[in-house]
Amino acid sequence: MIKTQFTLYVENKPGALAAITGKLAAKKINIDGISVSESTDVGLVQVVVDHADAMRKVLSGIGVPFTVQDVALLTLRNKPGALSDVVSKLAAARVNVNYVYATGCTCANDHCGCYAIISAPDLQAVEKAWKTVNNR
């Protein structure tokens, strides 16, 4: 499914991420996927949540600068090759992948899903590839 990803520009200091995630928890906003990287003075937090409108309000209320973009959030089976199957279909369709980050899970069966968040210029092609793989 296509979801809104928030890229937060957070001061790179102890407790900054904890403060933001604490505000999200207090507002009952669930994190579907998160990636954090750092530079010298700013941390970049890419996050997909279950309630984008509520997320916007929280971030605006606490003064955290952010940008948004659409990404594909795919549910993958917890098994070797699940991500490879999707990105191989994208490669065959000549769809470039800008980046991927994923969630882990501890389930050990095909009914347990993990998320992969994919940024690409053609998100409909990402969804099509995912549906092709998931329908086998």
User: Do residues 94 and 129 lie in contact, with contact meaning Cβ atoms separated by under 8 Å?
Assistant: no
pTM of this prediction? 0.86
pLDDT of residue 112: 66
Report the DSSP pairing between strands 113-119 and 99-102.
antiparallel
Q: Which residue intervals of the chain bear CATH 3.30.2130.10?
A: 2-69
Identify which of 68, 83, 11 has the alpha carbon closest to the alpha carbon of residue 43: 11
pLDDT of residue 20: 96
What CATH number should be reported for the domain whose range is 71-134?
3.30.70.260
Q: Which residue intervals of the chain bear CATH 3.30.70.260?
A: 71-134
Identify which of 99, 94, 86, 68 has the alpha carbon closest to the alpha carbon of residue 126: 86
Q: Which fold has domain 2-69?
A: VC0802-like (3.30.2130)
Instruction: Give dist(CA 133, CA 9) in Å, integer.
Output: 35
Q: Tokens in use for 121?
A: 């210029």
Choice among 45-49, 79-83, 130-134 with the minimum mean pLDDT: 130-134
pLDDT, tens digit, 9 for 90 and up, residues 30-58: 999 999 998 778 999 999 999 999 999 99
